[in-house]
């Protein structure tokens, strides 16, 4: 476990020092929301579905950026080889990188939610609090998937463009569930009324965290 | 051993080719002449007899991509990577055709080229996943790890299929049905329809197996030629050593 | 007779169509040192990366601590220290933070203490809190040496350890190598020229066009003017 | 018979696309054959080179 905390603390320290990726994530999610407000002219109408949709679009794009940065720290000076050579096993490395991506995404999500409430004339009330577990489940699933895929796209030509093309279709089920659950929560429905959606999100998370943990060693090594 | 492996394979491949030809002719005859058109939808419903086999073949191919991926990661033999790549490519051809045929059939019956019907949506998401797989294959073809990357993507995509089906069905039932989605497929009244469907299924399965083998053996050849090129490189390096040691 | 630390049987490696290593036979006992001398692109770095388990050979196999390098378990990786052309260090972390991070990865008891100790050993104590980004190539090389030897490894893979080191730096790294060998570690280093390390007997191998010449006598190498007197005497 | 156009379109597209795919495979086959020829040429050059060096050893030039 010491390996996990070492890598995570190192990533957080690097992030706090440069701070560029969290700011970039926040800026990106804000921009996506602004674009959607103008595109859907949602300023006037109090539409919950539009707000939930916009929130998740912002999350997916911010998450993509966050995941791409997950292995960026290791690209300088071949640091990834330092990790592969060390007794740290790839699964723990994956877990640490996933945790880091999750933290970045959480920050972006909080920012996006606040902006969503402002941009879409909603209230800071209980419904927003109910969003938290849904967004958490979404963030876990997306980070698990994107961290695994960014280890692949990070090392192929034109990979950065490939990450969304690979990640979004696979993420679709969690996206549908997330948007539907968020819309219901914003419309005041209690959490247990949408357990079907939540079950799908939990299944997605469990599946892709384990798949990522097991498959990471195959994509990160040079071999 | 390699020689007859190749001879045996091309015998199988040609055998598949001829069976495909025969079965396909029978299938076409049955669809256009033997089977009674479905009462309500008229002859447009006949597209169904190719639509369902295309779907079955596409799903089967993507299953093979995942299985081949697992074997490649486990055994590391290039054979599995070639199989996975060939299955993904052929699977994509049939998956694309299935969507196209589906939407051509939807136009006369449901009045629109595309509806977010649960089956069509699921297939479309699957189609997007494997577009990603093939784009990765194309852009990473020179990196040595492309086989491992392909295997992982193949496995991850296959793992996602059940969740896609579940979420789309849930989403689809809640989504207000734009049109009456009477899918012609279930409840075939006339036994002749069932036999026609079975023949079409057989014809397409053999057709797919033939195409898969065609492409698979081509990729096998490409891989073996790669190995040969490496051996030649070694031989020429050894030859140049001899020149260095005692110039001829 | 102790088991050899490294055994290589007929190893070959190609990148695409270029054969980088061919018919490599090699054995290294604990407490022994070997220098692999050869021009650029002769395959020296590839050999070290294979021994470190970072790359798989195309054919043949490399055995380290009795394990095939394709599947090195964590407890064997712990005994390997490597210096490569790249330093494996994080530019935005300070020298001390870098060493502390690697100390934790190798689960060393007192990471901070051992980091500071090693910084002194490589003469970087005064820049402990400077970011590696601000380091000169030589300083980074010294820190990389500290990182490689931090966990007292039993096998040291050093790819041109003396590159871009000034006189003091070379002397420090040379003494660290001597200490490691006295501690019973095996050392394989690559270089363009064989440095003279006092009190340590090195076997010297030449590698050309990917082929490993069998052991080369030091005198031969010396005659070839390839002995770079390290210590300036 | 009003839907015949759709039926015809669906079936013809299926066969046309599969036909194009088979053509694609044949084109790739041609590329493979070309590569095979270059490999054979290099192999031939190699064996010739080693024959020469072998023959020169057996009877040194007069």
Judge contact between B12 and B213, C-beta under 8 A.
yes
Residue of C12, C17, C59, C208 for testing the chain B interface, max B β-carbons within 10 Å: C17
Domain ranges of chain D: 10-39
Residue of A53, A168, A195, A218 for testing the chain B interface, max B β-carbons within 10 Å: A218
Residue showing tokens 């090693």: C118
Count of residues for chain B?
248
Whether residues C19 and B229 touch (CB distance < 8 A) is answered with no
State in Å, rounded, how far the first CA of chain C is from the last one. Answer: 37
Compute how many other C-beta atoms are within 10 angstroms of the C-beta atom of residue C75: 10
Is the confidence at residue B184, as pLDDT, over 50?
A: no
Residue of B41, B227, B236 for testing the chain D interface, max D β-carbons within 10 Å: B236
Is the confidence at residue C215, as pLDDT, over 70?
A: no
Q: Are C and A close enough to touch, i.e. 3+ CB pairs under 8 angstroms?
A: yes
Tell me, yes or no, if B151 comes closer than 8 A to chain A by beta carbon.
yes
Nearest to B232 by CA among D46, C212, C209: D46
Mean pLDDT of chain A: 87
- Going by pLDDT thresholds of 50, 70 and 90, the confidence category of residue A45 is low
Task: Please give the Cα distance from B224 to B76 (Å, whole number).
Answer: 15
Residue B229: list chain C partners with CB under 8 A: 17
pLDDT at B37: 73
Task: Please give the Cα distance from C188 to C205 (Å, whole number).
Answer: 10
Of A79, A83, A223, the CB nearest to C56: A223
Least confident of A46-50, A76-80, B126-130: A46-50
Spatial neighbors of A192 by CB under 8 A, at least 6 apart, are: none
Report, as an integer, the average pLDDT of C107-128: 92
Distance from CA of C88 to the nearest CA of A (A): 4
Spatial neighbors of C43 by CB under 8 A, at least 6 apart, are: C13, C20, C21, C207, C210
Judge contact between A4 and A96, C-beta under 8 A.
yes
pLDDT at B194: 84
Q: Across the A/B interface, how many CB contacts are shorter than 8 Å?
A: 100
pLDDT at D61: 42
Tell me, yes or no, if C87 comes closer than 8 A to chain A by beta carbon.
yes
Mean pLDDT of chain C: 85
Residue showing tokens 């065609």: B214
pLDDT at C232: 31
DSSP A1: -
pTM score, whole prediction:
0.88
Mean pLDDT of chain B: 84
For residue C185, report the phi and psi dihedrals to the nearest 5 degrees: -80, 155
Whether residues C91 and A77 touch (CB distance < 8 A) is answered with yes
Nearest to A170 by CA among B165, B129, B64, B61: B129
Q: Tokens representing C153?
A: 């490894």
User: Could you tell me what percent of chain B has a pLDDT over 90?
Assistant: 38
Whether residues D10 and B42 touch (CB distance < 8 A) is answered with no
Task: Please give the Cα distance from A87 to C70 (Å, whole number).
Answer: 15
pLDDT at B191: 81
Report, as an integer, the average pLDDT of B195-222: 91
pLDDT at D60: 47
pLDDT at A148: 94
Furthest CA-CA distance within chain C: 48
Geometric angle at alpha carbon C164, from C162 and C166, rounded to 5°: 80
Q: Tokens representing B237?
A: 């390096």
pLDDT at B46: 79
Spatial neighbors of B237 by CB under 8 A, at least 6 apart, are: C19, C22, C209, C210
Task: Please give the Cα distance from C130 to C97 (Å, whole number).
Answer: 10
- Alpha-carbon distances of B214 from B14, B59, B136, B139, D27, rounded to whole Å: 9, 19, 22, 23, 13
Judge contact between C182 and C13, C-beta under 8 A.
no
For residue C110, report the phi and psi dihedrals to the nearest 5 degrees: -110, 85
Residue showing tokens 């730096």: C169
Is the confidence at residue C229, as pLDDT, over 70?
A: no
Is the confidence at residue A206, as pLDDT, over 50?
A: yes
Nearest to A59 by CA among A160, A152, A131: A131
DSSP C55: S
Whether residues D7 and B43 touch (CB distance < 8 A) is answered with yes
Judge contact between B52 and B98, C-beta under 8 A.
no
Beta strand residue intervals within B55-202, DSSP E: none
Residue A18: list chain C partners with CB under 8 A: 92
Model confidence over C22-47: pLDDT tens digits?
888 888 888 888 888 887 777 888 99
- Going by pLDDT thresholds of 50, 70 and 90, the confidence category of residue C71 is confident
Is the confidence at residue D57, as pLDDT, over 70?
A: no
Q: Tokens representing B204?
A: 């397409």
Task: Please give the Cα distance from C93 to C147 (Å, whole number).
Answer: 14
pLDDT at C163: 83
Is residue C104 within a helix (H) or strand (E), and if so which, with residue range? helix C95-105
Task: Please give the Cα distance from C217 to A223 (Å, whole number).
Answer: 34
Report, as an integer, the average pLDDT of B61-72: 96
Is the confidence at residue B175, as pLDDT, over 90?
A: no
Is the confidence at residue D62, as pLDDT, over 50?
A: no
Strand pairing report for C59-64 and C155-159:
unpaired
Nearest to C32 by CA among C152, C181, C158, C154: C181
Least confident of B171-180, C130-139, C161-170: B171-180
Strand pairing report for C67-68 and C6-15:
unpaired
Is the confidence at residue C107, as pLDDT, over 50?
A: yes
For chain A, the C-alpha Rg in angstroms (whole number) is 18
Task: Please give the Cα distance from A3 to C93 (Å, whole number).
Answer: 17
Spatial neighbors of A3 by CB under 8 A, at least 6 apart, are: A86, A87, A88, A89, A92, A93, A96, C104, C105, C107
B241: closest chain C residue by CA: C209
* CB contact burial D26-50 (16+ within 10 A = b; e otherwise): eeeeeeeeebeeebeebbeebeebb
Is residue B98 within a helix (H) or strand (E), and if so which, with residue range? helix B78-110
Model confidence over B14-31: pLDDT tens digits?
888 898 889 888 888 888
Task: Please give the Cα distance from B60 to B229 (Å, whole number).
Answer: 34
User: ipTM of this model?
Assistant: 0.86
Spatial neighbors of B161 by CB under 8 A, at least 6 apart, are: B62, B122, B126
DSSP string, D9-44: HHHHHHHHHHHHHHHHHHHHHHHHHHHHHHHHHHHH
Least confident of A14-28, B92-106, D17-31: A14-28
pLDDT at B2: 59
Domain ranges of chain C: 86-151
Task: Please give the Cα distance from A217 to B213 (Å, whole number).
Answer: 31
pLDDT top residue among C182 and D62: C182
For chain B, the C-alpha Rg in angstroms (whole number) is 23
Is residue B94 within a helix (H) or strand (E), and if so which, with residue range? helix B78-110
pLDDT at B244: 62
pLDDT at B60: 94
Model confidence over A135-149: pLDDT tens digits?
999 999 999 999 999
Beta bridge partners of C195: C228
Tell me, yes or no, if B230 comes closer than 8 A to chain A by beta carbon.
no
pLDDT at C230: 40
Model confidence over C147-180: pLDDT tens digits?
999 999 999 999 998 888 888 888 899 899 999 9
Most confidently modeled of B41-50, B102-111, B129-138?
A: B129-138
Most confidently modeled of A153-167, A178-192, C68-82, C217-231?
A: C68-82
Task: Please give the Cα distance from B104 to B121 (Å, whole number).
Answer: 15
Task: Please give the Cα distance from A56 to C123 (Å, whole number).
Answer: 52
Q: Are B and A close enough to touch, i.e. 3+ CB pairs under 8 angstroms?
A: yes
Judge contact between A47 and A120, C-beta under 8 A.
yes
Model confidence over A23-37: pLDDT tens digits?
888 888 888 888 888
- Alpha-carbon distances of D26 from A27, B12, B228, C203, D22, rounded to whole Å: 50, 18, 22, 56, 6
pLDDT at B188: 63
Strand pairing report for C6-15 and C18-28:
antiparallel
pLDDT top residue among A149 and B180: A149
B240: closest chain C residue by CA: C209
DSSP C131: B
Model confidence over B76-114: pLDDT tens digits?
899 999 999 999 999 999 999 999 988 888 888 888 888
Is the confidence at residue D15, as pLDDT, over 70?
A: yes
Whether residues B237 and C210 touch (CB distance < 8 A) is answered with yes
Task: Please give the Cα distance from B231 to B236 (Å, whole number).
Answer: 9
DSSP B124: H
């Amino acid at each position: 476990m010491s390996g996990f905390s070492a890598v995570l603390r190192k990533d957080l320290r690097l992030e706090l020092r440069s701070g560029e990726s969290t700011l970039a994530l926040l800026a990106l999610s804000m921009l996506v929301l602004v674009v959607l407000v103008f595109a859907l002219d949602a300023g006037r109408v109090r539409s919950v579905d539009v707000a939930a949709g916009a929130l998740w679009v912002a999350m997916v794009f911010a998450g993509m950026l966050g995941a791409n940065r997950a292995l960026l720290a290791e690209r300088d000076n071949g640091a990834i080889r330092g990790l592969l050579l060390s007794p740290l096993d790839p699964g723990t490395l994956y877990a640490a990188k996933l945790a880091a991506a999750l933290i970045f995404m959480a920050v972006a999500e909080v920012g996006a939610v606040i902006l969503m409430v402002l941009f879409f004339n909603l209230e800071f009330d209980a419904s927003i609090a109910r969003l938290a577990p849904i967004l958490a489940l979404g963030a876990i699933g997306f980070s698990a998937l994107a961290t695994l895929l960014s280890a692949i796209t990070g090392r192929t030509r034109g990979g950065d463009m490939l990450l969304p093309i690979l990640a979004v279709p696979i993420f679709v089920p969690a996206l549908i569930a997330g948007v539907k659950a968020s819309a219901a929560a914003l419309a005041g429905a209690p959490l247990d009324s949408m357990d079907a959606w939540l079950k799908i999100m939990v299944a997605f998370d469990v599946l892709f965290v384990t798949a990522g943990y097991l498959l990471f060693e195959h994509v990160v090594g040079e071999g | 051993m390699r020689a007859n492996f190749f001879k045996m394979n091309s015998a199988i491949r040609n055998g598949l080719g001829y069976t495909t030809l025969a079965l396909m002719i029978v299938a076409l005859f049955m669809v256009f002449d033997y089977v009674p058109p479905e009462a309500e939808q008229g002859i447009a419903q006949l597209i169904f007899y190719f639509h369902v086999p295309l779907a079955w073949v596409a799903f089967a191919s993507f299953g093979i991509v995942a299985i081949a991926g697992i074997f490649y990661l486990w055994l590391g033999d290039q054979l599995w990577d070639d199989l996975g790549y060939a299955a993904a490519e052929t699977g994509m051809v049939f998956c694309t055709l299935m969507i196209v045929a589906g939407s051509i059939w939807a136009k006369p019956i449901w009045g629109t080229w595309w509806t977010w019907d649960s089956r069509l949506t699921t297939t479309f998401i699957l189609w997007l996943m494997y577009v990603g797989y093939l784009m990765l294959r194309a852009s990473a073809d020179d990196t040595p790890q492309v086989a491992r990357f392909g295997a992982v993507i193949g496995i991850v995509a296959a793992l996602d299929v059940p969740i896609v089906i579940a979420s789309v069905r849930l989403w689809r039932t809640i989504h207000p049905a734009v049109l009456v989605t009477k899918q012609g497929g279930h409840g075939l009244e006339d036994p002749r329809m069932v036999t026609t469907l079975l023949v079409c299924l057989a014809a397409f399965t053999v057709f797919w197996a033939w195409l898969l083998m065609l492409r698979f053996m081509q990729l096998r050849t490409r891989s073996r030629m790669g190995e040969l090129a490496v051996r030649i490189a070694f031989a020429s390096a050894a030859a140049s050593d001899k020149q260095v040691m005692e110039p001829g | 007779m102790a088991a050899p630390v490294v055994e290589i049987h007929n190893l070959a490696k190609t990148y695409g169509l270029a054969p980088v290593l061919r018919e490599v036979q090699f054995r290294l006992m604990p407490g022994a040192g070997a220098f692999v001398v050869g021009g650029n692109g002769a395959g020296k770095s590839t050999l070290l990366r294979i021994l470190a388990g970072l790359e798989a050979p195309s054919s043949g196999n490399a055995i380290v601590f009795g394990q095939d390098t394709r599947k090195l378990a964590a407890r064997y990786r712990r005994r390997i220290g490597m210096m490569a052309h790249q330093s494996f260090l994080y530019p935005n972390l300070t020298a001390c933070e870098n060493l502390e991070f690697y100390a934790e990865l190798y689960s060393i008891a007192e990471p901070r203490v051992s980091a500071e100790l090693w910084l002194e050993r490589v003469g970087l104590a005064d820049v402990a809190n400077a970011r590696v980004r601000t380091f000169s190539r030589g300083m980074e090389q010294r820190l990389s040496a500290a990182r490689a030897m931090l966990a007292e490894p039993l096998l040291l893979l050093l790819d041109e350890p003396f590159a871009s080191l000034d006189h003091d730096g070379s002397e420090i790294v040379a003494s660290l190598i001597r200490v490691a060998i006295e501690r019973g570690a095996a050392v394989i280093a690559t270089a363009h020229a064989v440095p003279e390390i006092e009190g340590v007997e090195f076997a010297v191998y030449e590698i050309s066009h990917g082929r490993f010449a069998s052991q080369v006598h030091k005198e031969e190498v010396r005659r070839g003017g390839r002995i770079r007197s390290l210590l300036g005497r | 018979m009003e839907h015949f156009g759709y039926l015809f379109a669906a079936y013809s597209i299926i066969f046309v696309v599969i036909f194009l795919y088979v053509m694609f495979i044949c084109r790739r086959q041609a590329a493979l054959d070309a590569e095979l020829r270059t490999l054979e040429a290099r192999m031939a050059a190699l064996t010739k080179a080693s024959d020469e060096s072998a023959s020169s050893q057996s009877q040194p030039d007069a």
